[in-house]
């Protein structure tokens, strides 16, 4: 067999494999686009908003790619906005609650575990952009990564949509937790409480994992 015929035969064999690979890539891109659109709809932030992808970019991902900005600055901003809105919401909602109880209420809501539970109810972990090491070590379900990403999303919503829109989002996500705490239900029922808005909005029940 001549060398040219051998090359032609190899190319013919590779064509179906290349086509399958391209189709798989198209499917993955479509899935990512659909996931981005779903999260964007839930948080009121379009996927093409200036800070949307940055909010989902973990430092481990940015460290592996030049020019990528991680979500740490947005997390810092979102944490402050969350604290302000939750404090204002608690103050206005419970006028008879003393200062010490208001502080406990805020601490019960503005903490990594509660934020991670909210992030899981939104399935935010599936969209976080992680570096290879974090990906392999189960970073998509780590409470710290989920909490940081959620706060970064809040920061992005604040920058791109303003305080009023951010307040509406935070009230929708956190008022059930606040009311549960005020009823004396505490952390034990937070996951159950979160399942109600999650099931109605996502038509599914969130899954939780112990770390």
Q: Which residues are marked as active site? A: 79, 151
Question: Contacts for 92-97 with beta carbons within 8 Å, 24 or more apart?
Answer: 93/178, 93/182, 94/182, 97/182
- In angstroms, the CA 104 to CA 175 distance is 15
8 A C-beta contact, residue 90 and residue 105: yes
Helix residue ranges per DSSP H, 94-204: 99-109, 112-121, 132-136, 143-161, 163-182, 190-202
CA-to-CA dists, residue 16 to 8, 10, 12, 21, 76, angstroms: 14, 11, 8, 9, 48
């Amino acid at each position: 067999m001549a060398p040219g015929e051998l090359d032609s035969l190899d190319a013919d064999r590779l064509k179906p494999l290349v086509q399958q690979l391209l189709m798989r890539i198209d499917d993955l891109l479509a899935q990512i686009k659909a996931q981005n659109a779903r999260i964007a709809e839930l948080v009121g932030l379009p996927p093409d908003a200036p800070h949307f992808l940055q909010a989902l970019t973990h430092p481990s991902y940015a460290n592996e790619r030049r020019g990528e900005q991680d979500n740490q600055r947005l997390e810092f901003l979102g944490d402050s906005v969350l604290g302000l809105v939750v404090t204002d919401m608690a103050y206005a909602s419970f006028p008879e609650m003393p200062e010490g109880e208001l502080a406990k209420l805020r601490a019960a809501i503005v903490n990594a575990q509660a934020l991670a539970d909210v992030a899981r109810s939104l399935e935010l972990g599936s969209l976080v952009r992680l570096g290879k090491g974090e990906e392999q070590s189960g970073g998509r379900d780590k409470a710290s990564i989920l909490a940081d990403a959620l706060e970064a999303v809040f920061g992005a919503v604040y920058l791109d949509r303003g305080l009023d829109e951010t307040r509406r989002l935070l009230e929708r996500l956190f008022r059930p937790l606040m009311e549960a705490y005020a009823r004396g239900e505490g952390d034990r029922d937070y996951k159950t409480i979160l399942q109600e808005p999650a099931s109605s909005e996502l038509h599914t029940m969130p899954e939780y994992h112990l770390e």
